[in-house]
A = this chain, B = another copy of it.
Amino acid sequence: MSASQTGSFRALKARAAEIHHLTKVAWVLNWDQRTMMPAAGATGRAGQLGTVARVAHDLLVADEMARLLDDVGAYEDGLDLDSDDACLIRFLRREHEKARSVPAQLRAEMIAAAARALPVWDRARAESDFESFRPYLERNLAQRREYVSCLGETDEPYDHLLDEFEPGMKTAEVRAVFDELKEGLVPLIAEISEREPIDSSCLSGDFPLERQQEIERRVLEAFGFTRESWRIDETTHPFASSSSISDIRITTRHQPGDLHSLFSTMHEFGHGLYEHQISLDLEGTPLARGTSLGIHESQSRMWENLVGRGLAFWRHFYPQLQEVFPSFADVELDEFYRAINAVRPSLIRIDSDEATYNLHIILRFELEQELLAGDGDLRDLPEIWDARIREYLGIDVPDVADGVLQDMHWAAGHVGYFATYSLGNIVSCQLWERIRDELPDLDDQFEQGEFGALREWLGENIHRHGRKFPPAELLERVVGGGIDPQPYLAYLRAKLGEIYQLGGNHVSPKSPLLES
């Protein structure tokens, strides 16, 4: 290839690096805002975030970027399709074209409208007053309709919203997967609801914060958290972020009355580990991030649920938990294990158990498509919400705060996001099947407090690739197929079947997903 070809690629990569650095700067500013920033700093911070986003967007849509993407064509032709450089060029071309399709004005208005809607939603939820929030939701939805219309033909308009969070994913595909999931979950949850409820009272009590931090520290260190490259801080709504591959920041929210933050922290560790194990060859490029929210969630759910609510993990850590919290001295491991895996239909998505969680998601996924279509009157939304909750979970919604207003996503303009949570659950079990095939002694390792083999498997098969491959392609490479809810359903049937002593039709004790 000619010197000018590689010169163009170098120039393209330098520009891509600047875009990436600015994205990471925005992550640090967001992390700072949610963990460190004095409250009065909010106005100044909004201006900083707006400028960083504007500058990064300008670099991405610039004519110079178009010219460089043209110029590298010949260089690209000579590359291995899976090489870092070829993946980077494909990725930038897609991002550039998509960003150019949406007018800068609309994009700015979407950001501004969300910024205005969030505090209104916050107040509306506090006062359980849907009507005050309704015009803002209407505006966010109208903008999404306009956004979709900028992006050209697809099978369904909602595809474009999904694509923001799960690149390449189609609505029809998610619908088919969720229908299959629902078909498996509804009878399972119904059968559980006929059993004696599990007594989870051991999980409530007096758990002093510094002791929670102590057990958390032991778990995180066993998982692979180091002070050299990680931080953990308190926040209101826990999240994971990073400044670079070598600077990972997770957050938590300790409550003295329960142990929820321990599981939340394992969840955020999963997100953090993904960003931490991306190949250093990709550092400084926009490929140095997780490939989609769904794949990200598969990682967080894996560490939270498949590891952290598993028996092998607790065979190692339960004696330590008993040592740190003497209230568990009289609680058998089995009782504790049942308590942390109890299924109980509830109003709030983020508080719900592994099985019913997905019904919360499916409900939102279905509703979002109707909202985007714009059929019906938004005034009726709370009523529709309550009716669906009754239908899916069999419970009554007392007020909109615990109903349609419980999540911030729609206020933030994140329509199309929710599906990725259940996609993550599903993918986590597809990966888990493969992992247990390849690492047959995983339970023994967990019982010894060893998590290195799992960590390395994930690094090698998922993490190191960053955004080189879109999520469907990555999954195909690892499990040899598309998204499939059956391993997840098999896992739930086996685990919950044993815990609730359900009839044989739900139980498959030989499932490769459960420890023997």
Binding site for B on A (CB under 8 A): 17-18, 21-22, 24-25, 28-29, 32, 36-41, 43-45, 47-48, 50-52, 54-55, 227-231, 243-248, 283-284
Contact = CB atoms under 8 A, between A and B. Distances in A.
Contacts of A38: 227-231, 246-248
A29 B244 CA distance: 13
A228 B40 contact: yes
A51 B22 contact: yes
A50 B37 CA distance: 23
Given A28-B32, A38-B247, A44-B244, 14 more contacts: A22-B48, A24-B48, A25-B25, A25-B52, A28-B28, A28-B29, A36-B231, A38-B228, A39-B228, A40-B228, A41-B244, A43-B283, A45-B243, A47-B284
A41 B244 CA distance: 6
Contacts of A52: 21-22, 25
B55 A18 contact: yes
Contacts of A55: 18, 22, 55
Contacts of A54: 18
Which 7 residue pairs across A and B have the least CB separation, nearest first? A44-B244, A41-B247, A40-B246, A21-B51, A40-B229, A21-B48, A18-B51
A50 B231 CA distance: 24
Nearest to A248: B38
A199 B248 CA distance: 49
Contacts of A246: 38, 40-41, 43-44
A384 to B, nearest CB: 41
A443 to B, nearest CB: 32
A247 B25 contact: no
B44 A24 contact: yes
B243 A37 contact: yes
A305 B301 CA distance: 56
Given A18-B54, A18-B55, A21-B51, A44 B243 contact: yes
Q: Which of A40, A45, A245 has the most CB of B within 10 A?
A: A40
A248 B28 CA distance: 17
Contacts of A230: 38
A121 B18 CA distance: 29
A501 B38 CA distance: 47
Nearest to A44: B244
B228 A51 contact: no
B247 A45 contact: yes
A243 B41 contact: yes
26 contacts: A17-B51, A18-B54, A18-B55, A21-B48, A21-B52, A22-B51, A24-B44, A25-B25, A28-B28, A28-B29, A32-B32, A37-B243, A37-B247, A38-B231, A38-B247, A40-B229, A41-B243, A41-B244, A41-B246, A41-B247, A43-B244, A43-B246, A43-B283, A45-B244, A45-B247, A48-B243
A339 to B, nearest CB: 35
Nearest to A246: B40
A125 B29 CA distance: 34
A281 to B, nearest CB: 14
Contacts of A40: 228-229, 246-247
Contacts of A24: 44, 48
